[in-house]
Amino acid sequence: MVGAGPVGLTLAARLAQHGIRVTLIEQTPRHMGEGSKAICMQRETLEIWSRIGIGERVASRGVQWQVGRTYYGTRELFSVQLPGSSADHFPPFVNISQSEVEELLLDRCRELGVDLRWGHRLEGLTDEGANVRLVLATDSGPAEVVARYVVGTDGAHSTVRDLIGVGFPGHTHGDQFLICDIRAQLRFPSERRFFFDPPWNPGRQVLIHPQPDDTWRIDWQIAPEINIEAERADGRLDRRIRAVVGPTTEYEVAWMTVYRFHQRLAPAFRRGTRFLAGDAAHLYAPFGARGLNSGAADAENLAWKLAMVLNGQAPEALLETYETERRAAARENLAVTDATMRFMAPQGRLQRVWRNLVLRGSTRFAWLRRRVNSGKLAEPFTYPSSPIVEGGPEDPSLPRHGAVAPDVRLSDGTRLKARFGFSFVVLVAAVAPHASLVDDSAPWPVPVEVIADEGLTAVYGAAGPRAWVARPDGHLASSLSLTEPAGGSVGARLAEMVGRAAGRERDSAPV
């Protein structure tokens, strides 16, 4: 791995848990931990980190929230209650500094035996067929690393992407965005609050998010010509902040940055034995929290596939599905965030006039209110057209193939999702407790855990007895009705389905 950010650390930890020897290269001399950066961690990202061993700590440390409110001026237009209940293991979103999460991931990587090499700058990359040779520069002189695969998790200015000749087409938004972490004791709710055209930032937007330790993330959309250092010097920055926190409130600027948002997508996520993940592969505007969360999903998707190939359990062709699945997710994220940015920062007079008409009319008309776009929040992607995911099921009451498997409480009190992450899992639902339709001794082509449990019935057996194939990343690959006549034994049929989900041919020999 090249790049020790949250995506590289997540991927390194997951590979190490699968028994893969991992070297993680980072050009900085140590973990910098500057500012909060990404702060909104989605429920499925917490599940991935739970498999690593830090998900619960992230959730308990962060600020949990379930409501997002959108305003025009100071008038609330609508609120969104994110799906969830007290029975959920994780909340829909947790706000916590990316830097804090990186520290937890670093600790786990060290415990898992990841070879972390700080102060190593990548300068050359050669695909030698069976291996990849990395040429590195360090303070003590040149160095080399030879690996079977290389993954670039080195961010927007990825050296890996440049060295393998993959472009990064897209565009950059003209307006700047001022991002501040403000420490202050404020009586703000633990909610996401988005303001269009507030009196304290006329004509543009402001977003407010809670963080731990009385810290608040405030994002201002500002004109391209504004100089924040000049504002800091002459007191305008103080006035800008006080317009939000109050004229007499004591506050501290814990971190501040100004940048422009980008919408970019690499045309390829893989070149032979070299891969791209996270910001090295895609960049989105942050409204909707799709950056880090999408990168964590990249890492989880690639981890199990690389591990199975390296452990001799799946063919090299399985790796082709990483780009198929995750680039489709990136395209959807780009479409969603692009629509948000077109509404937030319209280009051209006609777009701006229409946007302003929608905002003004939204205070009176519900049909206009529904057209206000303050950012659609991230959700796990469903892989509907993947070659290792079967279509269906036809019954709309059942979960969709390609989607993340819904969590349920099993009869022993444990969670279904706690069983994912390390092998394929076959779920047998709505079958009599002592029926032996399928078990761990079936001719599985790869390692499989079978779960036949009454707790599965409500979700997975809603349309009658059914068996499901869940991948190591928790996505459903296929299912089989157990009430319809089928040729051959149920175990043999399911073994074929598992093999297809692992990229193996039907006649592959069992492991």
pLDDT value of residue 459: 96
Burial of 200 (0-12, 13-18, 19+ CB in 10 A): middle
Residue of 376, 384, 293 lying closest to 338 (CA atoms): 376
pLDDT value of residue 34: 76
Residues β-bridged to residue 67: 81
DSSP, collapsed to helix, strand or coil, labels residue 501 as helix
The number of angstroms, rounded, from the C-alpha of 226 to the middle of its chain's C-alpha atoms is 32
Helix (H) / strand (E) element for 205: namely: strand 205-211
Sign of CA dihedral 444, 319, 386, 45: positive
pLDDT value of residue 508: 43
Contact (Cβ atoms closer than 8 angstroms) between residue 49 and residue 55? yes
DSSP, collapsed to helix, strand or coil, labels residue 265 as strand
Q: Return d(Cα 419, Cα 415) in angstroms, integer.
A: 7
Contact (Cβ atoms closer than 8 angstroms) between residue 355 and residue 371? no
Per-residue pLDDT of the chain (511 residues; tens, 9 = 90+): 999 999 999 999 999 999 999 999 999 999 987 777 899 999 999 999 999 999 999 999 999 988 999 999 999 998 888 877 666 899 999 999 999 999 999 999 999 999 999 999 999 999 998 899 999 999 999 999 999 999 999 999 999 999 999 999 999 888 889 999 999 999 888 899 999 999 999 989 999 999 999 999 999 999 888 999 999 999 999 999 999 999 999 999 999 999 888 999 999 999 999 999 999 999 998 888 889 999 999 999 999 999 999 999 999 999 999 999 999 999 999 999 999 888 888 888 898 899 889 998 988 898 998 899 988 888 899 998 899 999 999 999 999 999 999 999 999 999 999 999 999 999 999 887 655 667 666 789 999 999 999 999 999 999 999 999 999 999 999 999 998 755 568 888 999 999 999 998 634 433 3
Q: In this structure, which amino acid lies at residue 341?
A: M
Q: In this structure, which amino acid lies at residue 39?
A: I
Residues 6+ apart with CB under 8 A from 170: 262, 263, 264, 265, 283, 334
Residue of 483, 476, 482, 465 lying closest to 498 (CA atoms): 476
Q: Return d(Cα 138, Cα 425) in angstroms, integer.
A: 44
pLDDT value of residue 174: 81
Contact (Cβ atoms closer than 8 angstroms) between residue 305 and residue 18? no
Contact (Cβ atoms closer than 8 angstroms) between residue 402 and residue 381? no
User: Helix %, strand %, coil % for the chain, to 5?
Assistant: 30, 25, 45
Q: Return d(Cα 174, Cα 165) in angstroms, integer.
A: 27
Contact (Cβ atoms closer than 8 angstroms) between residue 306 and residue 150? no
Count CA atoms closer than 13 A to 449's CA, side-chain side. Answer: 16
Contact (Cβ atoms closer than 8 angstroms) between residue 492 and residue 506? no
Contact (Cβ atoms closer than 8 angstroms) between residue 313 and residue 511? yes
pLDDT value of residue 509: 39
Count CA atoms closer than 13 A to 100's CA, side-chain side. Answer: 20
Residue of 348, 71, 353, 61 lying closest to 197 (CA atoms): 71
- DSSP class of residue 409 equals B
pLDDT value of residue 347: 81
DSSP, collapsed to helix, strand or coil, labels residue 187 as coil
Q: Per this entry, what is the length of the chain?
A: 511
Residue labelled with tokens 């988005």: 194
Contact (Cβ atoms closer than 8 angstroms) between residue 179 and residue 34? no
Burial of 426 (0-12, 13-18, 19+ CB in 10 A): buried
pLDDT value of residue 507: 40
Dihedral (Cα; 191, 195, 201, 203), 10-degree rounding: 160
> DSSP readout, 353-378?
HHHHHHHHHHTT-HHHHTT--S-PPP
Residues β-bridged to residue 79: 69
Residue labelled with tokens 């890996």: 160
pTM: 0.94
End-to-end, the C-alpha distance of the chain in Å comes to 28
Contact (Cβ atoms closer than 8 angstroms) between residue 19 and residue 311? yes
Tokens of 162: 């440049």
Q: Return d(Cα 280, Cα 315) in angstroms, integer.
A: 26
Residues 6+ apart with CB under 8 A from 278: 3, 5, 6, 7, 8, 153, 155, 292, 294, 295, 298, 299
Please report how the helices 291-310 and 6-17 are oriented relative to each other, as an axis angle in degrees rounded to 10.
30
Dihedral (Cα; 89, 90, 91, 93), 10-degree rounding: -170
